[in-house]
Amino acid sequence: MTRFAPIGRRLALIGLVAASLLLAGGDGALRAQDSPDADGKAAQLKAVFIYQFTKYVKWPADASQGPFVVGVLGETPVEPVLRAVAAKRTVDGRKLVVKRFNGTDFNGGAHILFVGKGGWSGKDFPKLLDKLRGKPCLTVGDTPGLAVRGAHINFVLRKTRMKFELNLQTLGKTPLKVSSQLKKLAIIVKK
């Protein structure tokens, strides 16, 4: 059975939609103005999406050993929520670990790297991308324009709804394989 078997894809898609509905309060979209705790809800939604991305992306065999690491760069309210998810979930039977990096110590030792607004998403972002060139690390961010600048996935608000951009050009330069289901859910951007 392949990783993206039709039943598995449907279940993963249902899980992603259900999590979105649960965290967003019912209609499937986080509305920025709905709550004074919108940042907290946004962090929850981003953490759930990051976990769900593990079901839509295939890492090469040599990156499938040991714990599954989600790295975090920068101060972000997403980190504690990711830690809570990691305490309860696994990825393909592997322990899920959240690890904090600073800009100077990151060496590509993560399967997913979430780049918070304060974590190399500014002028130093190209240096981070150079460190990751050819490595099996999915970069995810939440800074406007980050996908156009080379991140693989970037969360954005469109008409008060949280969505995500996907940069297929930069993903094509990695050994990662992305399912067609994830592509269908994304806003495709070009570098």
What is the pLDDT, as a whole number, of residue 118?
A: 65
Q: What is the pLDDT of residues 56-111, one digit of tens each?
A: 999 999 888 899 999 998 888 999 999 999 999 999 999 999 999 876 667 778 99
Residues 6+ positions from 88 with CB-CB distance below 8 Å: none
φ/ψ of 2, rounded to 5, equals -85, 160
Q: Which residue has the tokens 């040599």?
A: 62
Q: Where exactly are the structural domains of the chain? A: 6-189
Buried b / exposed e across 49-76, counting CB within 10 Å, b at 16+? bbbbbbbbbbbeeebeeeebbbbbbbeb
Q: What is the pTM assigned to this prediction?
A: 0.81
> How far is residue 103's CA from residue 32's CA, in Å, rounded to a whole number?
30
* Of 109, 150, 148, 147, residue with least CA distance to 127: 150
| Confidence band, pLDDT 50/70/90 cuts, at residue 168 | very high
CATH level 3 topology of 6-189: Rossmann fold (3.40.50)
